[in-house]
């Protein structure tokens, strides 16, 4: 039989699946999803997570990662990623950018990427040490554009239900103002007439512009996500549809349940269905249903900076996001045939943008945002953890004098590379009311990356604790 047969993508995927099954059977494989909305710091987080593991034995700064503190870690290396259809996570590029004379933050995610690590370690004291002295844990880390994640709830909606959701968003006065040009174009269409693809395309582009304008104003609950970051579907007809505002449906007396064949309404309903079946459904089935553990990164500070509307839109988006994953305690049969996420970390990112005394408040704020959604997850038996982290610490904490009193301050470089010393302000420990922003604004800073020099280890805050929570139990 020709050797090329064994190199066929379907054969390679089958071999990988069998290998994964064997690893799951002996519980030596963890598939980690790193998720979060745009700007939450996923790329920087994965870069640092990989860096901490690969460099752990050289200049370890991981006191709370038990396998390191107990000196049981033998070594970590990058391995061939399991899915050859994904982009290779650009770890080396990110590290090269960070090691420049003027360092650059890692570029944001523009598609799906993946990295696989092999972690070799000595077993802890106990029965397992007599079975095998050394063991290897396979860790797969997968990164997704935040914009695509919010499409997953669309799988449970038809076009009419999506219209209701989109109309709720237009009740926001700022959104409605940003949507003016798109709404005007929609109102000019007779939805019972035969569809014109060019008209559909033009209005879909205006709807895309509206979503991008919303994003620039700090809104996060934006759908469809591929309109914002289309990937390889740019200009494809499957991305050329839009919702019809309720006011236009009422004024034109549009019967949403009985569209005229080949009409504008009929084409919009068809396109929405194709988007779900051809784009969203495969994305969910091929990728999301196989995760064991998950990190959800949340940029609370940027939302606080932008104001009440942005902050509460982020909270709504998180509720939508968390409803799309399969949670439930894992056992050996579930790991083999229907893996479910059994450990989940909620991590407020950019902890280095506030003083250490405010980090407890940041965790409490995150918990208050997740209060309702978290109840169901915990009921399903998932172990959850809330924390605040800095994947790549860009500031140092210090003290300064103000009116004769010592106050905590941060020292770092701004986005222009200038040295700054500042007190960024207090973080509320619960979701503030709208009136809070009327009295006090937030101005949490943006920092340039740290100067690394000859150091191979990235400075961080609490990644050792996060690693121990996520994979420490697999390395006993």
Question: At a CB cut-off of 8 Å and minimum separation 6, what does 359 contact?
Answer: 351, 388
Q: What is the pLDDT of residues 114-125, one digit of tens each?
A: 999 999 999 887
Contact 387, 465 (CB under 8 A): yes
In the chain, which residues fall in CATH 3.40.50.300? 3-149+285-394+453-475
C-alpha closest to that of 138 among 113, 115, 119: 119
User: Where residue 337 falls among pLDDT bands split at 50, 70, 90?
Assistant: very low
User: Where residue 127 falls among pLDDT bands split at 50, 70, 90?
Assistant: very low
More confident residue, 9 or 306: 306
User: Where residue 407 falls among pLDDT bands split at 50, 70, 90?
Assistant: confident
Residues constituting the chain: 476
Asked whether the predicted pLDDT for residue 468 surpasses 90, the reply is yes
The span from the CA of 302 to the CA of 434, in Å, is: 16
- Three state DSSP letters for the chain: CCHHHHHCHHHHHHHHHHHHHHHHHCCCEEEEEEEECCCCCHHHHHHHHHHHHHCCCCCCCCCCCHHHHCCCEEEEEEECCCCCCCEECCHHHHHHHHCCCCCCCCCCCCCCEEEEEEEEEECCCCCHHHHCCEEEEEEEEEECCHHHHCCHHHHHCCHHHHHHHHHHHHCCHHHHHHCHHHHHHHHCCCCCCECCHHHHHHHHHHHHHHHHHHHHCCCCCCCCHHHHCCHHHCCCHHHCCCCCCHHHHHHCCCCCCCCCCCEHHHHHHHHHHHHHHHHHHHHHHHHHHHCCEEEEEECHHHHHHHCHHHHHHHHHHHHHHHCCCCECCCCHHHHHHCCCECEEEEEECCHHHCCHHHHHHHHHHHHHHCHHHHHHHHHCCCEEEEEECECCCCEEEEEEEECCEEEEEEEEECCCCCEEEECCCCCCCCCCCHHHHHHCCCCCCCCCCCCCCCCCCCCCECHHHHHHHHHHHHHC
Q: Which two tokens stand for residue 450?
A: 């740290």
Q: Which two tokens stand for residue 69?
A: 């503190």
The span from the CA of 307 to the CA of 6, in Å, is: 56
Specify which residues 35 forms β-bridges with. 296
User: Where residue 152 falls among pLDDT bands split at 50, 70, 90?
Assistant: confident
Choose the weakest-confidence range: 13-17, 258-262, 288-292.
13-17
Q: Are strands 395-402 and 405-413 parallel, antiparallel or unpaired?
A: antiparallel
Residue 463's CB is within 10 A of a number of other CB atoms, namely: 27
User: Where residue 150 falls among pLDDT bands split at 50, 70, 90?
Assistant: confident
User: Where residue 330 falls among pLDDT bands split at 50, 70, 90?
Assistant: low
Given this model, what pLDDT does residue 121 score?
A: 94
Asked whether the predicted pLDDT for residue 155 surpasses 50, the reply is yes
Average pLDDT, integer, range 276-283 = 91
The span from the CA of 270 to the CA of 268, in Å, is: 5
More confident residue, 444 or 470: 470
User: Where residue 6 falls among pLDDT bands split at 50, 70, 90?
Assistant: low
Contact 351, 363 (CB under 8 A): no
Contact 334, 342 (CB under 8 A): no
User: Where residue 408 falls among pLDDT bands split at 50, 70, 90?
Assistant: confident
Q: Which two tokens stand for residue 445?
A: 């800073």
Q: Which two tokens stand for residue 368?
A: 């208050």
CA distances from 65 to 68, 71, 470 (A): 6, 10, 10
Q: What is the pLDDT of residues 241-260, one digit of tens each?
A: 999 999 999 999 999 999 99
Q: What is the pLDDT of residues 161-198, one digit of tens each?
A: 999 999 999 999 999 999 999 999 999 999 999 999 99
Average pLDDT, integer, range 292-310 = 90
Given this model, what pLDDT does residue 336 score?
A: 45
Specify which residues 410 forms β-bridges with. 397, 422
The span from the CA of 381 to the CA of 329, in Å, is: 5
What does CATH list as the number for 3-149+285-394+453-475?
Answer: 3.40.50.300
Cis peptide before 201 (omega within 30 of 0): no
Average pLDDT, integer, range 74-87 = 89
Choose the weakest-confidence range: 292-296, 320-324, 326-330, 445-449.
326-330
Please count the CA atoms within 13 angstroms of the CA of 290 that sit on its side-chain side: 17
Average pLDDT, integer, range 7-35 = 65
Contact 11, 426 (CB under 8 A): no
Contact 73, 119 (CB under 8 A): yes
Given this model, what pLDDT does residue 132 score?
A: 56
Q: Which residue has the tokens 């101005």?
A: 443
Asked whether the predicted pLDDT for residue 109 surpasses 80, the reply is no
Residue 472's CB is within 10 A of a number of other CB atoms, namely: 17
Q: Are strands 405-413 and 87-88 parallel, antiparallel or unpaired?
A: unpaired
More confident residue, 120 or 59: 120
Given this model, what pLDDT does residue 239 score?
A: 96
The span from the CA of 376 to the CA of 369, in Å, is: 14
User: Where residue 25 falls among pLDDT bands split at 50, 70, 90?
Assistant: very low
Rounded to 5 degrees, φ, ψ at 289 are: -80, 0
Asked whether the predicted pLDDT for residue 101 surpasses 70, the reply is yes
Average pLDDT, integer, range 102-130 = 82
Given this model, what pLDDT does residue 333 score?
A: 46
Given this model, what pLDDT does residue 438 score?
A: 80
Apex 470 CA angle, 295 and 48, nearest 5? 65
Asked whether the predicted pLDDT for residue 136 surpasses 70, the reply is yes
The pLDDT > 90 percentage for the chain reads 54
Given this model, what pLDDT does residue 263 score?
A: 96
The span from the CA of 433 to the CA of 470, in Å, is: 34
More confident residue, 383 or 176: 176
Given this model, what pLDDT does residue 1 score?
A: 47
């Amino acid at each position: 039989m020709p050797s090329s047969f064994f190199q066929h993508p379907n054969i390679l995927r089958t071999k990988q699946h069998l290998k994964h099954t064997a690893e799951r059977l002996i519980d030596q494989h963890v598939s980690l999803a790193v998720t979060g909305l745009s700007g939450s710091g996923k790329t920087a987080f994965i870069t640092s997570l990989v860096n901490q593991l690969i460099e752990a034995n050289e200049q370890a700064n991981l006191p709370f990662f038990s396998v390191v503190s107990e000196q049981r870690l033998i070594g970590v290396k990058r391995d061939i990623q399991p899915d050859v259809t994904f982009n290779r996570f650009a770890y080396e590029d990110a590290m090269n950018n960070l090691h420049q004379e003027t360092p650059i933050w890692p570029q944001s995610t523009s598609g799906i990427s993946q990295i696989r690590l092999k972690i070799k370690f000595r077993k802890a004291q106990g029965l397992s040490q007599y079975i095998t002295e050394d063991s290897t844990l396979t860790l797969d880390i997968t990164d997704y554009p935040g914009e695509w994640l919010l499409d997953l709830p669309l799988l449970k909606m038809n076009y009419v239900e999506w219209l209701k959701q989109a109309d709720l968003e237009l009740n926001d006065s700022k959104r409605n103002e940003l949507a003016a040009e798109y709404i005007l174009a929609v109102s000019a269409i007779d939805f019972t007439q035969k569809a014109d693809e060019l008209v559909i395309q033009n209005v879909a582009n205006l709807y895309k512009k509206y979503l991008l304008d919303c994003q620039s104003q700090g809104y996060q609950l934006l759908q469809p996500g591929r309109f914002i970051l289309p990937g390889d579907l740019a200009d494809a007809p499957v991305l050329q549809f839009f919702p019809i505002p309720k006011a236009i449906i009422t004024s034109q007396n549009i019967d949403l349940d009985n569209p005229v064949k080949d009409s504008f309404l009929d084409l919009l309903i068809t396109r929405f269905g194709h988007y779900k079946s051809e784009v969203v459904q495969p994305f969910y089935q091929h990728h999301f249903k196989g995760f064991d553990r998950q990190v959800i990164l949340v940029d609370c500070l940027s939302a606080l900076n932008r104001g009440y509307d942005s902050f509460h839109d982020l909270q709504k988006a998180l509720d939508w996001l968390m409803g799309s994953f399969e949670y439930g305690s894992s056992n050996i049969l579930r790991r083999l045939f229907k893996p479910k996420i059994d450990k989940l970390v909620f991590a407020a990112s950019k902890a280095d943008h506030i003083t250490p005394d405010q980090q407890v408040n940041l965790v409490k704020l995150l918990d208050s945002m997740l209060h309702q959604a978290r109840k169901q997850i915990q009921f399903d038996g998932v172990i959850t953890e809330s924390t605040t982290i800095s994947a790549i610490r860009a500031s140092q904490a210090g003290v300064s004098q103000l009116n004769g009193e010592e106050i905590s301050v941060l020292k770092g470089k701004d986005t222009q590379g200038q040295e700054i010393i500042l007190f960024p302000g207090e973080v509320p420990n619960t979701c503030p009311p709208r009136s809070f922003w009327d009295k006090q604004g937030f101005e949490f800073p943006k920092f340039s990356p740290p100067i690394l020099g000859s150091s191979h280890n990235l400075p961080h805050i609490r990644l050792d604790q996060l690693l121990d929570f996520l994979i420490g139990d697999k390395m006993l």
